[in-house]
Every structure is written in structure tokens, then in C-alpha cells.
Amino acid sequence: MKVTYIYHDSFSVEFNEAILLFDYFQGKLPDFDKNKKLYVFASHSHSDHFSPVIFDLRSKYKNIKYILSDDIKVTKEKDIYFVKENETVYIDDLKIETLKSTDLGVAFIITVEGKTIYHAGDLNWWHWEGEIDSENKKMEKMYKHEIEKIKNRYFDIAFVPLDSRQGKYFYLGFDEFMRNTNTKLTFPMHCWGDYSLVDKLSKMEKSKDYKDRIINVNEINREFDIK
């Protein structure tokens, strides 16, 4: 697999026959192999996860399909598939499963070419400083409920939020995910350009059991070759 960090929550994952593109809304895209099938995923309608610009890719890539959360309001066309929370669909050789986001839309689990990929979208433990305790407790309960659905599950790679806006609670969702899944490698995302969070988490006692499995995403358009 070749993974490319594009911007914010947007990554591409290239396989032998297929390419997955997640939550693209801006940034320079790789020059994808036009002989491969391109699958474009959008986890929800927020502007830092979805933009209609993805439909411009049709002019360059003829073998393209779109998998969109059903909160995204665009006209249904033959190459667009809408998904909702907690369902499993099959498109070509892809098995696509979804979880319910704690914000909007879905998280994706994709199995393709013998590999399983997790992209959280905005499924995260959104604990905010200054928020009333009952709301933070509610969010904790919602997030743990979704992670329980994938408890002990194996993922070859995962893309999981690590958000600087949460202050000292920036690591909660990431930590919960890593402790409850069997994930080989995890790419932090949704960092809002604060790439120091990876180093900060790695130095915390909480991450001692999984810090070697965190990929240091610190440069736009950086490519990672994953065995």
C-alpha cells in the first residue's frame, strides 16, 4: 500500500487494483494511475471533509465511484453511492462498513485486496474544555458505544483524529481507539496543522503500549510505503 497525506483528514491509499481517496476538499492530489479504480469517500458534509470539487475528478478519471454519507445533499447519479450509519455495503471488490459519527455522518471501514482500513471522519471523543460536564459525559458514552462495536478488531491502517482544539483532552479519542482495537499502524489526522501533537502523545505514559504504531504525519503530500 502507498498512503499519501493530502491535507487535514484527507488521505489516499493505493493498492494494486484500487485507490481510495478520503475526505478530500483541498490540496494537491497525487497523479493517480488511470488504469486503477478510484473510490472517493466523504464521511459527512462539513466543509473540511467534503467539497463538490471531488466531482471534477470525473474529467480525469473515468473509472471512478463516490461513496458519500447520506447527509451530503447532491443529486444521485450512477457513480454515486450513499451510505448511512451502521450498515454494510458491497461495491465491486470493496466491503464497506460504517459507524455512527459522534458529530455528523459516518466513519468508514473498508476491506479491499486483503487489507482493512479505518477512517474515522469526525467520529471522536469530543471532550471540550469549558463545556458542561453532562455534555462531555454524553459524548464519552456515545464514542465508547461506537468503539465497542469494533473492540479487538484488526485494522492494517487507521486514520484517527488528534485535535489540538481540545486542549489537554486532545488524545482521548485516539487513546480509546488504540486501546480497544488491534491496529497495526495509525495515522493521526484532523490536527489543524499542529503536527507536534504526535510527539506530545508519544511522550505520554498513556501511549507507551502503542506509540511505536503511530505514524508521524508532519508534512503535506508526504508518501508512506506500507508493507
Topology, domain 2-225:
Metallo-beta-lactamase; Chain A (3.60.15)
Locate the domains of the chain by residue range. 2-225
> Is it the case that residue 227 has pLDDT exceeding 90?
no
- Cα dihedral 178→181→184→189 (10° resolution): -50
Question: Which cell numbers in the block locate residue 116?
Answer: 482493512
Distance in angstroms between the alpha carbons of the first and the last residue of the chain: 6
Residue closest to 94 by CA, chosen among 106, 108, 105, 77: 108
d(C-alpha 216, C-alpha 208), whole Å: 15
**165-203 pLDDT per residue, tens:** 999 999 999 999 999 999 999 999 999 999 999 999 999
- Across 77-88, average pLDDT: 98
Per-residue pLDDT band for 92 (boundaries 50, 70, 90) equals very high
**27-80 pLDDT per residue, tens:** 999 999 999 999 999 999 999 999 999 999 999 999 999 999 999 999 999 999
